[in-house]
Structures are given as structure tokens and as C-alpha cells.
Structure 1
């Protein structure tokens, strides 16, 4: 009986602040994230992409970072556009919907800066199968390198709500509002 009571009281989300000094950000994750690194081809080079993610039931909360060296700064906008297009084109090809909304994020020094949130409804056979909210942020480091952050939540499972309605709930909003790049 005591175990049943404790299981019923244990929260599904175990929020914790994660400091990632190498990737220059602080984020509030709903559990302990795993960290993966991979090299992605871009133009005639490979860039390191670091991903911290945690899966909680049907949701995957993730922060992806790419460091673009100062000597590649001229290709920053093209790289961000490519990252966005890859995801948006996939959604549209599935018959899904994409809604874009103005948003804000806070830097580590408490500046409030504008960004955009993308609410994506991915479909399979005409039915909503996955909902995603994603935000891209670019910050320039003191040495001139650019950091690209992709903050996202992917909900795998059917929902009667739109991506915007479903992924604007408090447990998702906390993840986005408490991400702070340096």
C-alpha cells in the first residue's frame, strides 16, 4: 500500500537546471538528459552538433547546439535556413501544418530578445501523429564564433489539440522560457 501511495505521489517531471558551459547555455530539463555528439556535413566541412535530450513518456525535450567558427560567419543565415527548411519541408510533405509565432527568450545576463516559435503538426496517413514545438536561437560568442541552438519538444502520439494548443501548456512552456544562452 505504501509503495502504491508513493508511486502515485511521485511527479512525472523531475525539473532540474542543466548547465552546459561547453555549449554556452543553461536549460531547465524535466529529467536528467543524455548527451550525444555527432558530426554533420555542411558545405565542404563537418560541424560538431551536440544534443542533450530527455524522454518523458511520449515527449522528447532536446537542446541541440552547433558552433560555427568566426571564419564561417558569412554562412550563418544559410545554415539556419537549411535547418529550418529540413524540418518544415518534412512536415509539409507529410500533409502537416506549421504555425509560426513571435516569442522571446532571455539570455544569461537577463536580456529579453525576440525569436520565433514553430508549432509543427506531423501527419501520417492524414492523421496527426507527432506534434513539435521548436525554436532556433543564434548567439555570437566573445571570440566571434556563432552558436546555433535548436530547442524543441516532440510529442509522439495522437492529440485532438493543435501543436500550438498542446505544446503551450505549462510543462512545455517552462522548458522554453527557462532556456538561457550565454
Structure 2
């Protein structure tokens, strides 16, 4: 069974343990999913537009963190063996200083499950384009998780942080999780057009 830990949002610190609940709900999407049916999804409240291969489910909640409540949303769709998802965390102006540590925690919990670090993980340089056509450098990471059963899991993931209009911050995690009986070469597999489209057409403000 897919677990919220594999999505990198089951965080080790007690204040963050509930974070993965949102993604757990995404895993419960109907198993009978349509073939790729690309559509642009506008999420103005979260400050981005994205190209999904099907109609995503949207989940909203408050993330308890350091005695504060931080808004988090998840849009995700399951297409056969893949879960395409965009997670967005919003930090207000008064909370913006929390962004580096929160991002580090999100990254480390996911990377640790693949037994890699930001420095050792297989990655490629990439560019994302904002809604006003600005192109900004980023990195995509290709992860292969240790098998705990009959299924193998791998992921392509990208993290983006942006200044919000209220001088707060957005933390985005864009990812595709693949679960199947056979292990794949993550970099080669996720470089296919069906996955590249999803990452290339994510546009934050």
C-alpha cells in the first residue's frame, strides 16, 4: 500500500506528524483512473497554475507547527500506477522566517527514505516559468525508495519557494510517485513526456 511517508510529508518532528494525513487522502482516490486527459488547473488562492493529466482532487487543511496554524493544500490525481500532486504551504509575513527550516524538514524526510541527501541524490538542473514568463533555475530530484513489499516506488520531485503577495512565502512540492511491481530507472522513466509536461507546465506567480 502507498504510504504518506513515501510522499515526503510524514515528518519526524511531533508538531509535523499530521502533515501526511492530507496525502493519505490522496492515495484513496479511485483506483479506476482515466487515461491521460490533460487540463490546465488554475489555483489563484495558492498562486499557481498547473497542467494535470486528469481532474485532481483538492484537499485543504491547517498544518499545526510551532503552536501556529499554517494553511496547506494538496491537489492530486491518480492515473494508473502514478500519483501526480502539487502541495502548497502558505506562510504569512509573520511566519515567513519559518520557511527555510520547514523546507529543510520536508526535503530531509523524503530524501532520507531514499537513503540520499540533497547533495548525493540524482538530480538535474531545470527551469520553471512564472505566470509572468520569468524563467528561474531549480532542480528536479529522481528518487528510488527501498522496497518494503511486492511493489517498488520511485519519484520525481521539485521544490519551489516563492515570496507571496502579502510578503509571506509559498513552499511548493511538485511530484509524481510511481508504484509498480518492477523497479524503473527513475531518471529515464520520469523524463518521458507524460511526466515532463506536468513539471514544465507548473507556473507559480
Which bracket does the TM-score occupy, shorter chain normalised? 0.7 to 0.9
Provide the residue aligned with 1:47 in structure 2. 70
Secondary structure at the residue paired with 2:142?
strand
Render the CA deviation track for 1:78-133: whole Å, top value 9, x for unaligned: 1111110111112229xxx9312221100000111011111110121598711101
Provide the residue aligned with 1:74 in structure 2. 97
What's the TM-score, normalizing by structure 1?
0.86
What's the TM-score, normalizing by structure 2?
0.77
TM-superposed deviation, 1:43: 2.0
Partners of 1:23 and 1:125 in 2: CA distance:
35
Structure 2 unaligned blocks of 5 or more: 1-33
Secondary structure at the residue paired with 1:174?
helix
Structure 1 unaligned blocks of 5 or more: 1-10
**Given that residues 82 and 177 in structure 2 are in contact (C-alpha distance below 8 angstroms), is that contact kept between their aligned partners in structure 1?**
yes
- Which has the larger share of strand? 1
**Given that residues 122 and 128 in structure 1 are in contact (C-alpha distance below 8 angstroms), is that contact kept between their aligned partners in structure 2?**
no
Partners of 1:155 and 1:64 in 2: CA distance:
17
Partners of 2:147 and 2:184 in 1: CA distance:
16
Does the alignment pair 1:100 with 2:123?
A: yes
Which deviates more from structure 2 when the two are superposed, residues 123-132 or residues 44-53?
123-132
Equivalent of 1:166 in 181, 189, 196:
189
Larger radius of gyration: 1
Provide the residue aligned with 1:62 in structure 2. 85
User: Closer, same or farther in 2 for the Cα pair 1:157/1:34, shift >3 Å?
Assistant: same
Cα-Cα RMSD: 2.0
TM-superposed deviation, 1:75: 1.9
Render the CA deviation track for 1:123-175: whole Å, top value 9, x for unaligned: 21598711101101111122201111110000011445321111111000000
Partners of 1:99 and 1:44 in 2: CA distance:
35
Q: May I ask how many residue pairs the two structures share in their alignment?
A: 169
